[in-house]
Amino acid sequence: MKRKLVPMDRSHLPQVLAIERACFSKPWSEQTFADELYNDAVSLVVAEGEDGAVLGYGEVSVVLDEGCLEKIAVAEDSRRQGVAEEILGAFLRFGEAHLAFLTLEVRASNAPAIALYEKMGFETVGRRKNYYADLHEDAILMTVEFDRIGTV
């Protein structure tokens, strides 16, 4: 299936919110996403299928030369098809050009996500105990550092 990455806009929000509710125990509201669309320190992208359907989305926030992967989610019927890897790859290319590092937090039990992050060059750098309090679950902190010469 052909797909493309595009900047998220308001027209994507209904589909993004459906994916958000399916993927997260504390989903963001429509207002939160709408506010992020106009935040200059944030990059929101969606992966669209040939028919314009949102297959997945991601968000990175940036402060100076530090990036944080805030969100990445893929519709259930589009998982294991490289969507998350494509979104993450775009953020890593941005990081190589502009950041010192990119960091993230992931549920300790989310083995598929952790495997993807490791495949893409992230390393575990810490653990936040009971970070996901509603789930009574730790967060694994992962980071990829950029050498600023164009390689991860």
Active site residues per annotation: 105, 117
Cβ-in-10-Å burial (0-12, 13-18, 19+) of 97 comes to exposed
Residues 6+ apart with CB under 8 A from 41: 61, 62, 63
| Dihedrals phi, psi of 75, to nearest 5 degrees | -60, 145
Measured between alpha carbons, how far is 119 from 117 in angstroms, rounded to an integer? 5
